[in-house]
Amino acid sequence: MFDKFKKEEGGEMMEERREEHETEAVTEPSSEIGIGELMDKRAKLEEAIDYVGLMIKNLKDKRTSLEKDIEEESVDIKNLKEKLQKVSEYIEEENNGIKTLANKRRQVENEADEVGSLINSLRERLTGIDRIIDSEGSRVKRIKESRETEV
C-alpha cells in the first residue's frame, strides 16, 4: 500500500495516474481538469495518514507496554535487592551472635577451669584434713588401747 506513496514521480504511481487519466478521459468529461484524479489522490493520502496514525498509536502502545514492563522489573529488582540486604543483615547478626556465643563459651570454659582448680584445691585440702583426722583417729585409738591395756 505504501509502495505507491514511497515511489518518486517517475515510478509506479505516475503510471497508475496515467492509466487512470486515460480511462477517465474517455468516460468522464469532467476529468479533463483532473478533479477525479485529485479526489482519488486526496483519498489515498487520507488513507495513508490514517495508516501512519495507526502505526504511531501502535508504537506508543508498544512503548507504554515496554515502560510498564521495565517499571515492573525495576520494582522486582528493588524488592530482590531489599531481600538480599535483609539476608545480608541476618547473616551479619548471626555472625555477631556466633562471636558472642564463642566469647561466652570461652568465659564458661575459663570459669569451669577455675571451678575445676577450686575443686582440686578443696579435694587436696579435704584429703589433708582426712589424713589429719585419720592420724588423730589412730592416735586416739592407740591412746584408748593403751589405757585399756593398762587398766
Percent of the chain past pLDDT 90, that is, above it, reads 64
Whether residue 4 is contained in a domain is answered as no
pLDDT, position 15: 46
Whether residue 11 is contained in a domain is answered as no
Whether residue 66 is contained in a domain is answered as yes
**C-alpha grid cell, residue 80:** 530482590
Count CB-CB contacts under 10 A for residue 115: 10
Whether residue 7 is contained in a domain is answered as no
74-121 tens-digit pLDDT: 999 999 999 999 999 999 999 999 999 999 999 999 999 999 999 999
Whether residue 133 is contained in a domain is answered as yes
Whether residue 15 is contained in a domain is answered as no
128-141 tens-digit pLDDT: 999 999 998 898 88
Question: Cβ(18)–Cβ(9) under 8 Å?
Answer: no
Whether residue 137 is contained in a domain is answered as yes
Give 141 or 14, the one with higher predicted confidence. 141
Structural domain boundaries enclosing 129: 34-150
Question: Structural domain tally of the chain?
Answer: 1
d(CA 19, CA 12): 11
pLDDT, position 147: 81
Q: Is the pLDDT of residue 25 over 50?
A: no
Whether residue 18 is contained in a domain is answered as no
**C-alpha grid cell, residue 94:** 548471626
